Structure 1
Amino acid sequence: MAYLKLYRDKLHENHKVLVKMFDKAGIEWGVVTKLLCGNRKYLQELVDLDIKEMHDTRISNLKAIKAIAPEVQTVYIKPPAKRSWENVVKYADVSFNSDLTTIRGLSAEAVKQGRTHKVIIMVEMGDLREGVMGDALGDFYAKVFELPGIEIIGIGTNLNCLNGVMPSTDKLIQLSLYKQLIEARFNKRIPWVSGGTTVAIPLLLNKELPHGVNHFRVGEALFFGADLFNGGTLPGMNADVFKLFTEVIELYEKPVVPTGERKENPSGRKAKFADKDRGRKTYRAIIDVGLLDVQPSFLIPDDDRVNVIEASSDMLVVDLGESTHEYKVGDIMS
C-alpha cells in the first residue's frame, strides 16, 4: 500500500521563510489546504504552526479544519454551488464569489443561521476563469453592499489558474485601483486586495508587487517550495516536504517497445518510441500507485537509476534499465 510521509522539519523551514517574507511586506496570508484532502493529522501540523487562515474548495475539508481548530478562519475559494450554500455559511467564514444570485443565496442562509458571512468579490483580470468583469464591478458592489448577513472583506483575482496568464505588476496595480474606486464611490473600507498566490511570490521578492496587494493564498510554496513563475525552488525553501512510498508488485525484463497495433491509451495519450529501442529489453517494475493517486510527471524517484514511464488508473511502470539493481517484488520505492 502506498503512503505519504510528511517531513515536519522541512515544512517548518518553508513556513518560517514565508512568515518572514510576508511579515516584512505587511501582507496577510492563508494556506491552501486542498492537497491535504482533509487529513486531520496533516491539518494538525498546520494548526501547530499557528496558521490562522486555511483555504479549500471542499466543504468536507473545511469541516475537518473546524473540527480540530474552530478558531482558524476558513475560506471557501471558489464560487459556491447552490446545493452547498447552507454548508458554506456553516463551515466557511469567508467565500470567494462572482455571482449576485449566489451571494443573495448566501445572504439568506446567513440570516437564517444568525451569522455574518464574509465575501471576497473576484474580478476577471484576463485568465478567463471566475470573476466579475471590470466595467460591471461598481454596480455589482452596490447590490452586494445592500445584502443582510454579508460583509465584503476583499477584492481578489485568480491568475495562472486556467489559461496560464501570469500575474504582473500592471495587472495587480489595476486590481488595487478597482479597490480604491469602490472605496471612494461607496465610502466603504475594503480590507483586502487578494491578488497573490504562489505564482506571484517572485514579484514580491523582486520588489515588483504593488503595495496595495495585501493578501496571499499559498499552497505550493509551503508544501513544495515551488517557484511557479521561473521554475525550480524558491530561495531557502524545500521541495521535498512530502515523500511517496510505494511497493513493487511486479518486476520483469520486457521489451521497451510495445507489440501490436497501437492507438491512444485510456488517458488519451499515444506514446512514441525511438527506432534505436526496437528489439531492446530493460527491467521494468510496476509499483502500487496510479493516476487515481498521483500525477506521474511530478514524481522524482530518489534512485536516479529509476525512470518513470507511464501510469494507468492504479499502477505505475518504471524502467530500471539493464539491471534490477537488486530490487525485487515487495520492496518499497520512494
Structure 2
Amino acid sequence: MATLTVHTGRIIDNITRLESYLSRQGVQWTLVTKMLCGYRPILEKVLAAPVIRRLHSIADSRISNLKMIKSLHPDLVTMYIKPPALEQVANVIRYADISLNTTLRTLEALNDEARRQERTHRVIVMIELGELREGINRENVLQFYERTFNLSHIQVSGIGTNLGCMYGVEPTYDKLIQLSLFKQLIENKFQQKLELLSGGSSITLPILPRKKVPRDVNHFRIGETAFLGRELDSGKRFQNLSTAAFDFSGEIIELKTKDSSPDGILSEAAVGQVADEPTETAADAPARRAERCILDFGELDVDVHGLKPKDPGVRFVGTTSDMTVYEITKEKHQYRVGRRLHFEPNYIAIARLMNSRYMTKTVV
C-alpha cells in the first residue's frame, strides 16, 4: 500500500536549527503546522520537543487542528492564521490565543465572545501590501486601529502582512519597510506599543541573511521550510536543514512493456492526466515501446505533480483517480511487482497525503 513515512527527528532538528538561526537575528517565529492536518502521532512527537517551548507560538488554519494541539499541550500559545469566519468565533476564542484579522465586524464578534468566555484575545491586524489576499487597505489603517484599540477584550499584539502566497509578490525591502512605517505611525498616533511586526514567512527566509529585511520585522510565520528544509523560491536547501523528513512510496501493482502511445479514438471523457509526449517527426514512425509500471495511488490521494521520483530513471506518464503510471527509462533495474518506487513529495503533495484516509502514514 502507498505509504508516507515521516521522520519526526529530522523535523525537530530543522526546528531547532531554525530557532537558533532566527534567535541570532533577533526574530521570534511561529511554527505553522497546517501541512500536518492535525495528525496526532506526528504532533505528539514534534510538540513534545523542548525546542517548541522556545518558539513564539504554534499556528494552524483549521480549528480542529488547534483543538488537537491544545488537547496535547494546553500551555502552548496557539495562533489562527486566517481571518476567522463569524460562525467559528466561539471556537477561535476557545482554541486560539491569537488570530489574524482584517474585518471590524469579526473583531467585534471576537470581542463579544471573549467577554462571554472571560478571556482577552490577542490579534494581529493584517495589512494589504499588494498580494491581494487578506489585509485591510492602507488608507484605512488608522481608522481601523482606532476602533480596534477600543475593544475591551481584544489586545492588539501587532501588525502583519502576507506576501508570496497567491500571486507570488516578493517580500522586498520596499514592501516590508512600508509595514515598518505603519507600525511607527500607529504607535505614535495612539501611544500604543505593538509587540509584533509579523512580516516574514518561509519565502522571506533567504533574504534575511542579506540584510534585506527591515530591523523592525521581528516575527515570522514558518511552515514549509521548517518541514521540508528548502527555500521556496529556488528550492535550494536552507541553512543545512534536512530535506528528507518526508518519503512517499507506492507499490508496483503491474510492470509490463507497452506501447508509448494509446491505440484508438481518444475522447474528452478521460478523467486522468498525462504527461506531454514528444511529437514524432515522421508520419510513419514506428510506435515506441517502453517498460511501464502502475503504482497503487492516484489523484484522490495526492497531487502527483508534487512528487519527484528519487530514481532519475523513472518518468511520470499519467494518472487516474486511484492508479498512476510511470515509465522506467533505464534498461537495467531491480523493479518488479511488489517492490516500491520512492518519491520526494512537495508541500501540497504532503498535505493531500496527510488528509487522505486511504494512505498509510508511518511515523518514525
Relative to the length of structure 1, the TM-score reads: 0.93
Measure the CA separation in 1 of the matches of 2:287 and 2:24: 60
Runs of 4+ off more than 6 Å: none
The more displaced of 206-215 and 16-25 is 16-25
Helix, strand or coil at the partner of 2:309: coil
Helix, strand or coil at the partner of 1:275: coil
Displacement, 1:280? 0.9
Is 1:236 matched with 2:215? Answer: no
Given candidates 108, 113, 116, the residue that maps to 1:112 is: 116
Relative to the length of structure 2, the TM-score reads: 0.86
Measure the CA separation in 1 of the matches of 2:225 and 2:275: 32
1:80-129, Cα deviation, whole Å (9 max, x unpaired): 11121111111111111101111111111111111111111010000100
Letter in 1 for 2:42: Y
Measure the CA separation in 2 of the matches of 1:177 and 1:193: 11
1:9-30, Cα deviation, whole Å (9 max, x unpaired): 4323322321121110111101
Measure the CA separation in 1 of the matches of 2:247 and 2:236: 17
The more displaced of 292-301 and 32-41 is 292-301
Helix, strand or coil at the partner of 1:51: helix
Structure 2: gaps (5+ residues): 343-364
Is 1:38 matched with 2:38? Answer: yes
Measure the CA separation in 1 of the matches of 2:110 and 2:46: 28
Helix, strand or coil at the partner of 1:205: coil
Is 1:47 matched with 2:18? Answer: no
Is 1:181 matched with 2:214? Answer: no
Displacement, 1:323? 4.9
Given candidates 313, 316, 324, the residue that maps to 1:308 is: 316
Is 1:20 matched with 2:28? Answer: no
- Corresponding residue of 1:164: 168
- Asked if structure 1 preserves the Cα contact closer than 8 Å seen for 2:275 and 2:316, the reply is no
- Corresponding residue of 1:29: 29
Helix, strand or coil at the partner of 1:155: strand
Matches within 5 A, 1:80-91: 80-91=84-95
1:147-202, Cα deviation, whole Å (9 max, x unpaired): 12111111111001111101001111110111111111111111000000000001
Displacement, 1:278? 6.2
Identical aligned pairs, as a percentage? 40
- Asked if structure 2 preserves the Cα contact closer than 8 Å seen for 1:282 and 1:323, the reply is no
- Corresponding residue of 2:362: none
Aligned length: 333
- Corresponding residue of 1:62: 66
Question: Are the structure 2 counterparts of residues 170 and 148 from structure 1 closer, same or farther at C-alpha, using a change threshold of 3 Å?
Answer: same
- Corresponding residue of 1:319: 327
Helix, strand or coil at the partner of 2:148: helix
Measure the CA separation in 2 of the matches of 1:278 and 1:215: 60
Is 1:287 matched with 2:295? Answer: yes
Question: Quick one: higher RCO (CA 8 Å, sep 6+), 1 or 2?
Answer: 2
Letter in 2 for 1:330: G
Structure 1: gaps (5+ residues): none
Displacement, 1:332? 2.4
The more displaced of 294-303 and 65-74 is 294-303
- Asked if structure 2 preserves the Cα contact closer than 8 Å seen for 1:30 and 1:218, the reply is yes
RMSD across aligned positions (CA):
2.0
Helix, strand or coil at the partner of 2:159: strand
Measure the CA separation in 2 of the matches of 1:181 and 1:126: 20
Matches within 5 A, 1:134-153: 134-153=138-157
Letter in 2 for 1:303: D
- Corresponding residue of 1:206: 210
Displacement, 1:44? 2.0
Given candidates 227, 240, 255, the residue that maps to 1:251 is: 255
- Asked if structure 1 preserves the Cα contact closer than 8 Å seen for 2:12 and 2:46, the reply is no
- Corresponding residue of 1:102: 106
Measure the CA separation in 2 of the matches of 1:111 and 1:195: 29
Is 1:330 matched with 2:335? Answer: no
1:12-69, Cα deviation, whole Å (9 max, x unpaired): 3322321121110111101110111101121123213331421111111111111111
Letter in 2 for 1:167: P
Measure the CA separation in 1 of the matches of 2:90 and 2:322: 35
